[in-house]
Amino acid sequence: MHPNPAFRTEPREQNIAFAREQGFGMLAVATEDAPLISHVPFLLSEDGGLAELHLVRSNPIVGLLKQGPCAVRLAVQGPQGYISPDWYGVADQVPTWNYVAVHLVGELSLGAMEGLRDLLDRQSALFEERLLPKPPWTIAKMSPEVLDRMMRQIVPCVIRVDEIDGTWKLGQNKPAQARQGAADRLDASGLGQEPRLLAALMRGV
């Protein structure tokens, strides 16, 4: 996470809400060799104390978990983008990258297999709700044989979250007028939805 305290003033509740809304992150586990990383959807409890996810049985992280719980970091990425120094309207600036990221740090362990179906139901219900008015997809639409085969290939996991840390690098260290100017230019860059979302966050600080 960025060490500048100007980018780390958001309250714990805001970081939790952001991570819950995103619902997707990069799970990292340290090993003696290179870290193991998996990109996973997850559910986060309202108080931020518990994250639930599932992994494919063949995932090397699952092999580690069979030996016991592991220390992990789940990095949740938000809007991000390049900021040109020309956009500030202030002399002697340098290029930078603005972004939002929240990290959940804690202990990952295998969950109870009998809870796997409930986890899958809750995950699909959460994300299908965002697609309304499309009729929600449910596991009930799958044939029992295919569902049973799929569920044998994955395992539930839980993270006991001990620490939540967020970086909201949005130009807080720049004069308000310069930050607004950069947000306007970013918004007008035509680079897509993500820069527009980042610009909106820059205007809000």
Q: Say how many CA atoms lie within 13 Å of 52 toward its Cβ.
A: 17
Q: How confident is the model at residue 191 (pLDDT cuts 50, 70, 90)?
A: confident
- Across the range 6-21, mean pLDDT stands at 94
Cβ atoms of 105 and 142 closer than 8 Å: no
Amino acid of residue 196: R
Percentage of the chain lying above the pLDDT 70 cut: 100
Cα(100)–Cα(97) distance, integer angstroms: 10
In the chain, the domains with their CATH numbers are 5-113+155-203 (2.30.110.10)
Residue 6 pLDDT class (50, 70, 90 cuts): confident
Encoded tokens for 24? 């997707």
Minimal CA–CA distance to 98: which of 107, 113, 85, 116? 85
How confident is residue 36, by pLDDT bands cut at 50, 70 and 90? very high
> Nearest CA to 79 among 175, 186, 174?
186
Task: Report residue 28's pLDDT band, with 50, 70 and 90 as the boundaries.
Answer: very high
CA Rg, the chain, in Å?
Answer: 20
**What DSSP letter does each residue of 36-90 carry, written as one string?**
EEEEEE-EE-TTSSEEEEEEETTSHHHHHHTTS-EEEEEEEEEEEEEE-GGGG--
0.95 exceeded by the pTM? Answer: no
Phi-psi region of 62 (alpha: psi -120 to 50; beta: other; left: phi over 0): alpha
Provide the sign of the torsion angle of the four alpha carbons 4, 42, 109, 30, taken in this order.
Answer: negative
What's the pLDDT tens digit per position in 109-163? 999 999 999 999 999 999 999 999 999 999 999 999 999 999 999 999 999 999 9
In this predicted structure, what is the pLDDT of residue 108? Answer: 98
What are the backbone dihedrals phi and psi of residue 5, each rounded to the nearest 5 degrees, phi first?
Answer: -65, -20
Joined tokens for residue 90: 């202030």
Q: Which of 126, 202, 196, 137 is nearest to 169 (CA)?
A: 202
Evaluate whether 69 touches 59 at the Cβ level (below 8 Å): no
Question: pLDDT by residue (tens digit) across 79-121?
Answer: 999 999 999 999 999 999 999 999 999 999 999 999 999 999 9
Beta bridge partners of 97: 82
Amino acid (1-letter code) at residue 28: A
